[in-house]
Amino acid sequence: MMLNPILEKDLKTKMRGWRMPVLLSLYLAFLGFVLYLFFLGNDLIYNRYGYSTFNPRTAVDTYNVIAVFQFSLLALIVPALTATAISGERERQTLDLMLCSGISTLSIVMGKLLVSIANIMLLVVASLPILGVVFLFGGIGIGEVLLLLLYYIITALMAASLGIFLSTLFRRNVTAIIASYICFAALAIGPVIALFIWGAFFLSRQGANAELTYAILAKILFPSPGFGFISFLAGGRNDMVGLGALFQEINRLAERETSLLRYFKPWMINSIFNIVFSCILIYLSAWKLEPVKRRRKNKREGHGKGEERGRIEERGIA
């Protein structure tokens, strides 16, 4: 099986550099520091009374704290890793060499995307020992952790596809990175704002007959990664920053739903959107890399065929 040349080149150059080890070290150090502060705040490090005062809910709280911070860090890191994929090649004046090498634009985009996903997977896999601390206390199964990692990968795929697409639109790295953060924030926060606006204008008008359903939530919040991520907050067994109560309310609305949406959890709905949206962005990125050249080539071929046809006709008349 032949490896994508863009993937092979970028993996060798990035893994041999100093940036990835430094980023990985900072990422793990921050997660470990957050976990240490959480244990310190819950008196789990210098507990003079032993394990008799241990609260089993602490394991669930620990899992939620690590998951929230890990998801937030990935949302901050992924746009910076992917938004320079194409614009960086353009700034280094190596993009034209790639386009002239005979590699298809789709292979270039897929190679850049796979490199970004590989870097993100390295961060996620490296953080498994920290996330696995919750197994010391119990209450969280390996299936929940693996499902959370799967959702991380799907969300990272969407964010990476968005970053690469914006990288093909803008010529400068700084502009592409800023645009990636703005677009990702719009996907995450925009649906929530739309839900509040919808509630203020429509629910208030209906008065006592107003009712918020799970179908309405899914139709408005489906693009938001936060809507999907809330499914993994340990089944709402705690009330961390009010998210546990929010998850319980969404579960209650889902149980009352009569349509087929009751069988789709928020993470499933958001994952379907992420996969479809990623495919569209990948296709648009590959098309954007070489649209003008194809048009010019078609025009030149059409113009050449027209001249040749004209000469044949002139010869026939003569």
Residue 90 lies in a domain: yes
Rounded to whole angstroms, the maximal C-alpha distance in the chain is: 110
Residue 308 lies in a domain: no
Q: Is 87 exposed, middle or buried (0-12, 13-18, 19+ CB in 10 A)?
A: buried
Residue 234: which of 111, 136, 140 has the closest Cα?
140
Residue 310 lies in a domain: no
> Could you give the CA distance from residue 280 to residue 277 in angstroms, rounded to a whole number?
5
Helix (H) or strand (E) holding 57: helix 57-82
Residue ranges making up the domain that contains 11: 5-292
At residue 217, the pLDDT reads: 83
Residue 44 lies in a domain: yes
At residue 138, the pLDDT reads: 66
**Matching residue, tokens 């030149």:** 300
Residue 233 lies in a domain: yes
Residue 208 lies in a domain: yes
Classify the C-alpha dihedral 248-276-128-38 as positive or negative. negative
At residue 278, the pLDDT reads: 93
- Backbone dihedral angles phi then psi of residue 80, each to the nearest 5 degrees: -70, -30
Whole-prediction pTM value? 0.79
> Could you give the CA distance from residue 40 to residue 42 in angstroms, rounded to a whole number?
5
Residue pLDDT tens, the chain, 318 long = 466 777 777 777 776 777 778 888 888 888 888 888 877 776 665 555 555 555 656 667 777 888 888 888 888 888 888 888 888 888 888 877 777 877 788 888 888 888 888 888 888 888 888 877 777 766 677 888 888 888 998 999 999 999 999 999 888 888 999 999 999 999 999 988 888 888 777 766 665 556 778 888 888 888 999 888 887 875 444 445 455 556 667 777 777 777 787 778 888 899 999 999 999 999 999 888 875 555 444 555 555 555 555 554 555 444
- The interaxial angle of helices 105-126 and 5-15, nearest 10 deg, is 40
Q: Residue 51: what residue type?
A: Y
At residue 210, the pLDDT reads: 62
At residue 155, the pLDDT reads: 92
Number of structural domains (the chain) is: 1
State the DSSP string of 101-143.
TT--HHHHHHHHHHHHHHHHHHHHHHTHHHHGGGGGT-S--HH
Asked whether 267 and 228 are in contact (CB, 8 A), the reply is yes
Residue 318 lies in a domain: no
At residue 131, the pLDDT reads: 78
In tens, the pLDDT along 213-228 reads: 888 888 888 899 988 8
At residue 274, the pLDDT reads: 94
Residue 305 lies in a domain: no
At residue 35, the pLDDT reads: 81
In tens, the pLDDT along 160-215 reads: 999 999 999 888 888 999 999 999 999 999 988 888 888 777 766 665 556 778 88
